[in-house]
């Protein structure tokens, strides 16, 4: 049985919450120290004890919990979770019917009414991501809702929170019949290997589905493609299937080589005709610039923050520099795909970085098209940070 703790909101933040902001954060609270046990329910009230909202206490890298309801009479119980999950599933009906795409997001945190929780579907398997110890306390409700609402081969989970400061590596199996990984999922006709049982990541980022599709169908034919920060090479695979002359994938992580070979192979592409390079992108750029090597298309999809031996990269500070390097190795009339998942700046600011980079390089460009999160990654307008993905196709 979870307890409910009443917490007062500072007067300056009341209107923010009343406008629908869902993230509970320390700075906004008066008696924040009354919150002790993650998973406890939090009742937010104003100084006169007037009800603002009800949620749970759970520490994430941002915030310390999420508002779940604005209705004082709502109970956070099995029925509550059933309703949220049923609505989320309903929103994804068309995905379940698409035989060409067998992986998508089923539940997207606050966008579906419960922050700190995501659920992805991979061809009959469900993967739950718990983003705090707090939301993990509601585990039984979530599993029970899935049991009631969907059929599955198995449910897996990833605990994206540290217990006693340590991330626990585990295979994540919850219930059902254990899978044999990798499984193969389909996405608009592309195959991908997926591992639900190892590490924090599964093999592809589902939010880039539309970008992979357009690269394959519209941009790759006959082109040389550099995929920087390539991870398992998903963009390279899309480009190769779309008729690219050659792809070059660059990622710093040793694991990326084997995983990229796998993603090419599962699509019947001879990986030996592609370049897969394990190296720091910034170092690779220097090398390409020196050799005057240029590409028709350069894809940039860096992490929002990363530290390598030589460089610290922060998208907010360094994206402009990254673009300037990319401009140097992109052919005239070539295309740069600039992507970021940084939630600290929005599309307008991102376009500002792009404009400045080109200006400082004395080059002109045309923005061809833009992408943000696909429909299955549901967001809410009261929480713009949740709408993190920004992708711009730029013609030089
Ligand atoms: N574009 C990929 C996802 C990229 S995730 C996709 O669509 O699937 C970010 C990747 O950047 C990680 O694989 C990480 O290993 C890599 N990375 C981080 N810093 C790097 C650096 N300085 N040079 C090369 N790769 C880097």
Q: What is the mean pLDDT of the chain?
A: 96
Could you list the residue range(s) of the whole structural domain that residue 53 is in? Answer: 4-69
Structure tokens at 110: 């606050």
Q: Answer whether 259's CB lies under 8 Å from 232's CB.
A: yes
Residues 6+ apart with CB under 8 A from 24: 42, 44, 55, 57, 63, 64, 65, 66, 67
Ligand 1 atom nearest residue 301's Cα: 1
196 in a domain, yes or no?
no
**What is the CA(229)–ligand 1 centre distance, in A?**
3
**What is the CA(252)–ligand 1 centre distance, in A?**
7
Ligand 1, atom 12: nearest CA belongs to which residue? 231
pLDDT digits (tens, 9 = 90+) for 118-131: 999 999 999 999 99
176: burial class by Cβ within 10 Å (0-12, 13-18, 19+)? middle
Q: 151 and 36: one domain?
A: no
Please work out whether the CB of residue 127 comes within 6 Å of at least one atom of ligand 1: no
In this predicted structure, what is the pLDDT of residue 200? 79
Instruction: Read off the pLDDT of each residue in 306-332 and give the average, rounded to a whole number.
Output: 92
Please work out whether the CB of residue 207 comes within 6 Å of at least one atom of ligand 1: no
CATH number at residue 35: 2.30.130.10
**Boundary (domain end) residue, out of 188, 222, 244:** 188
**What is the CA(205)–ligand 1 centre distance, in A?**
12
Q: 244 and 267: one domain?
A: yes
Which pTM does this prediction carry? 0.96
Q: 377 and 253: one domain?
A: yes
Structure tokens at 251: 């990622």
Please work out whether the CB of residue 87 comes within 6 Å of at least one atom of ligand 1: no
Instruction: Read off the pLDDT of each residue in 13-22 and give the average, rounded to a whole number.
Output: 97
pLDDT of 165 strictly over 60: no
The confidence band for 198, taking pLDDT boundaries of 50, 70 and 90, is confident
């Amino acid at each position: 049985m979870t307890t409910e703790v009443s917490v007062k909101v500072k007067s300056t933040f009341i209107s923010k919450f009343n406008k629908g902001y869902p993230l509970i954060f320390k700075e906004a609270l008066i008696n924040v120290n009354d919150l002790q046990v993650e998973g406890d329910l939090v009742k937010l009230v104003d100084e006169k004890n007037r009800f603002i909202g009800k949620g749970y206490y759970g520490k994430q890298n941002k915030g310390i919990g999420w508002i779940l309801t604005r209705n004082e009479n709502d109970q956070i119980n099995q029925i509550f979770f059933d309703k949220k999950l049923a609505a989320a599933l309903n929103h994804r009906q068309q995905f379940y019917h698409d035989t060409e795409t067998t992986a998508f997001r089923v539940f997207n945190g606050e966008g579906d009414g419960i922050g700190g929780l995501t659920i992805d579907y991979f061809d009959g398997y469900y993967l739950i991501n718990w983003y705090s110890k707090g939301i993990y306390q509601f585990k039984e409700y979530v599993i029970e809702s899935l049991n009631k609402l969907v059929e599955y081969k198995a449910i897996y989970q990833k605990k994206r929170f540290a217990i006693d400061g340590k991330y626990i590596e585990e295979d994540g199996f919850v219930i059902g019949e254990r899978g044999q990984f990798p499984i193969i999922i389909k996405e608009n006709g592309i195959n991908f290997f997926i591992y639900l049982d190892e590490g924090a990541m599964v093999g592809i980022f589902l939010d880039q589905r539309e970008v992979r599709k357009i690269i394959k169908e519209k941009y790759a034919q006959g082109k040389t493609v550099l995929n920087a920060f390539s991870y398992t090479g998903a963009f390279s695979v899309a480009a190769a299937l779309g008729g690219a002359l050659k792809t070059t994938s660059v990622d710093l992580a040793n694991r990326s080589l084997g995983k990229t070979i796998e993603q090419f192979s599962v699509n019947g592409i001879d990986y030996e005709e592609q370049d897969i390079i394990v190296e720091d992108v910034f170092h690779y750029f220097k090398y390409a610039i020196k050799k005057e090597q240029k590409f028709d298309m350069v894809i940039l999809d860096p992490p929002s923050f990363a530290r390598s031996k030589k460089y610290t990269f922060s998208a907010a500070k360094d994206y402009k520099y990254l673009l300037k390097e990319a401009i140097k190795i992109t052919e005239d009339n070539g295309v740069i795909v600039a992507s970021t998942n940084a939630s600290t700046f929005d599309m307008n600011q991102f376009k500002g970085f792009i404009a400045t980079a080109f200006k400082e390089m004395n080059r002109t460009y045309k923005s061809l098209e833009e992408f943000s999160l696909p429909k299955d990654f549901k967001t809410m307008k009261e929480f713009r940070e949740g709408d993190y993905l920004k992708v711009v196709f730029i013609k030089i």
